[in-house]
Amino acid sequence: MMCFCNCVFKQLQEQFNFEYLGNAIKTNVVIIHPMHIANHNVDAAVNENSPKDKPVSGGRILDVYFSADVETDGPIPGPFSLLSFAFVFAGVFDGQQFTRPPSYQHTFYAELKPISDHYEAEALRINRLDRDRLIIEGRSPESAMNEAASWIREIAGNAQPVLVAYPLSFDWSWLYWYFMRFCAQGSPFNHSQCFDIKTAFAVKANIPVAEAGRSKLLRSLRPDREHTHHALEDAIEQAEVFANIFEWEGVSGRNP
């Protein structure tokens, strides 16, 4: 079980003007329970048993972002295997205000048993994972994906979890396939709750998507962390890039 720390409460209190009421936080925009974020009106109650409900205030749904990264032994799921993955709580957005977390301590990481005998040596060279060790010590995909989905829903509560990645396509294809194949409740992101950081950068930088790779990021948008090909470390690095781009007004002062 994960809950927001006091510093998260303090930051959200300052930006969303709520008051702490013991088991819940009350505001005319949101009610935030220590274990749930829920977009409600001031008199609504958080339904803790209905994490898939989509509470609204003025027609709005609160997005809760999760930076995701995967390391695999090949290009596609099924014939090849997901070896490790990570999620990092990366912020919230109510349609007007984006709030990044003060730190990236709310994380989920797992290493998995391979599901096939096929692999590409180059993929293993890059991620430096010991596939033979994972055959023995890795978690079963069923255990890891069900626990990850529960963790994501616990953090998001009654709000909408959104997966973010840079670029989105590779990480999404693997995680969606594994959730649908191995998680009893399917994908916590449904079939399309996702955000492509690469596209966001292209739009704000006024450049084509083909020119919006990581190497093109402005220095001010890059974190100090290195890209290591360790899923958790890279998910944290990516969460910082995501927040930097989200808050950046862009080359034309655009901030959609």
CATH number of the domain within which 168 lies: 3.30.420.10
36 falls within a domain: no
Would you say 118 and 79 are in contact if contact means Cβ atoms under 8 Å apart? yes
Region label for 191, one of left (φ > 0), alpha (ψ between -120 and 50) or beta (otherwise): alpha
% of residues, the chain, pLDDT over 90: 71
- Sign of the C-alpha dihedral computed for residues 84, 88, 94 and 97 taken in this order: negative
96 falls within a domain: yes
152 falls within a domain: yes
123 falls within a domain: yes
pTM of the model: 0.78
Residue 186: pLDDT over 90: yes
Check residue 58 and give its pLDDT: 56
User: What single letter denotes the amino acid at residue 151?
Assistant: W
Domain count, the chain: 1
- Give the residue numbers spanning the domain of 178: 63-247
Mean pLDDT, the chain, integer: 82
